[in-house]
Amino acid sequence: MSLAPRQLVLALDHRESFAREDFLAGPPNAAALALIERWPDWPSLMMALVGPEGSGKTHLASIWARISGARVLSAKLLGQTDLPAALATGALVVEDLAPRSLDERALFHLLNLAREEGAFLLLTARSAPAAFPVGLRDLASRLRSIPVVTLAAPDDALLRALIVKLAADRQLAVDEPLVSFLANRIERSFAAAKDAVERIDREGMRLHRPVTRALAAELFRENP
């Protein structure tokens, strides 16, 4: 008995543009974008961008890094980094600060060092750092003093624009029927939009079919 060959779909990397002109602006992220664009006129040398996965924190941090000359450091590497060297340009982004993987002493040292040197510091996180369950009391006090700007879940207009951009990043041309179907079908979140576009792209490649509303309807088990 012969078996039909299975289609092999390669998981290719799709590079996302973090250029200023490619940032999708809207009411949910207006305050965060305004903060980045009015630098160095910030209310504090240290600021935090807080929002769900995919909400644009990394994009905004990348824009600010180019404007300010800031270096970018993953929060997971705080304990393995030469912090004075990281602050050498007078500005630093610390990406994806999270309580579970937090090196409290390294972060406390960084905050103190940045304060002493008058350096700008931009933190990104999914939840407000002030609410992190940290053991160091002085660190908790420092985190509470950092102003937070929140990126909210996308509204309908931003969700639709996001679907189009995510598709374009994957070199997919999508029409209005498909965009409307996905926007009305998926959860109103950045992560859901990314997952939906990835799924329909993979399915289109697997079946050698164009990415259309009909394909999306089949994938999401709805009638086209």
Per-residue model confidence (pLDDT) at position 6: 36
State the pTM of this model.
0.82
Between the alpha carbon of residue 109 and those of residues 14, 15, 44, 87, 141, the distances in Å are 36, 34, 18, 12, 13
Residue 142 burial (C-beta neighbours within 10 Å; 0-12, 13-18, 19+): buried
Q: pLDDT value at position 158?
A: 93
Tokens (6 digits) for 140: 């908790």
Ordered domains of the chain (ranges, CATH): 26-150 (3.40.50.300), 156-219 (1.10.8.60)
54: confidence class by pLDDT, cuts 50, 70, 90: confident
pLDDT in tens, 68-92: 999 999 999 999 999 999 999 999 9
